[in-house]
Structure 1
Amino acid sequence: MKSMDTKQIKRSMRLDYLRLAASGEGSVWILALVPLAFTLIGFIVDDEAITFGAAGAVTAICALYAAFSSMMVFSNEETTGNTSMNGIVPVSRLNQVFARFALSFVADAITAIEGVLCLLILFHHDEPSVSLFAGLGLGVFGVALFLGSVVIPIFYKFAVTKAMGWSFAILGLLFFAVFLIGKIMSDDMRTRMLKWMMTAKLGIVPWAAIIAILVAIVVCVCSFLLSVRVYEHKEL
């Protein structure tokens, strides 16, 4: 396996950003700013139910955006016939994969910051603690990193149309698995877990965020190694 090269990674990240914006750079930013629309609605309409609904929408959109941005890179790369460029540019496959993960990482960080800012606007009157918002930001980042890491190897393995189908199927199964675990878990076990997190010094939200980050990092490392292995054996 070849070594990492900063210049190659930057070159490939730049190329991947151009692929992301291939359908119009404005569309990338419009999609990224969608959470602000829900924030504006929740801020203007002074209703608790709408505020919490807007907060849920903001959190979900921010967490999903990074995964969709990775999908958009692969999709635009294939639809514009730009895939063959990967075999021409002076960048090793290892660095190409790392650059794609790095671009996804940047998208995760941006959406996490955006999510925290939107939630801060929505709940400014409640004066929530700093640790709560830090936990929410880390949680959004962890979920975004996890979702993006799940789909990237699939797109390296299959053509876009097939990869889309597999990605949505796997993500659907993951959400169903989380729901099922919550249903199967006994009330006593659930109570003990919540009591432990709530009595812990950091609080329930930061602890949940830390767990999400740790899981996401493990999945991301495994996903990166799998993606490199798949891509190095792929004909361009």
Structure 2
Amino acid sequence: MLIASIGDIQDRITNSGVMAVGAVGYAAIGGVINDDALNAGIITTDELGAYLEAKELVLNHDYAIATTAEQMFMQEHAANMNSLDAAVDNLTAATAVVMTAVEVSSTAAEADTKPEQVELQGMLETDAYSLDSAEVNEYNEAVAAVETFAQQAGAFMAAANNDELTATVDSYAAQGNYMVGSYTAITYTQSVDEFVITWDDSGFGTGFQGYLTPDMKNAAEIYAAGEYINEYGAMPTQ
């Protein structure tokens, strides 16, 4: 994300450098450049925002090498929480687009006269009040991203708090003469409740399964928690 955002800004810098030379050249011989001719060299608000967001993610990530499984899991938790923050922002933006489009429902419900029906048609012909597949896909992808990062962040926090799991991982790493934080890959799959951790370049990971079953939350529990937070501003006490 950081590399991509920097790349976009670098493209703007390249454009501005080349186009500034061209603009000076034309100015010297009486060429009149068009309004906004150098816009390709301007860094947009969105590009700056993407860079600042990516920069914040990097600054907030803990790159210290973990010496225990608990530290390792907490680092992964923090990284996924950073990604979750960005995913929630994306969902908020995507939701705003969809909400604007579905606001037409009140007009549709009341459109029982010809003038009102003509007004409804006019609204549906505008981009703001009409959904397309790209907008729906963006919204659905944003929901899926929130689910993914929330699940992963929660799993790593639960793992860090699970003494049996952390002790097992620490013991395995010690027996294999690995520093816990030197892992090359770590994944969690909720459907089988399994962490897979790889400590070398072989590509073969070690699985740790069945530790988080008591921490699983279904859709009804998630919805209830959301309603509670919306009303009281915090999670209910456990």
The structure with higher relative contact order (CA 8 Å, sep 6+) is 1
Which has the larger Rg? 2
Task: Give the number of the structure whose residues are more often helix, by fraction.
Answer: 1
Task: Give the number of the structure whose residues are more often strand, by fraction.
Answer: 2
User: Is the structural similarity TM-score above 0.5?
Assistant: no
Q: TM-score range by the shorter chain?
A: under 0.3
TM-score, length-scaled by structure 1: 0.28
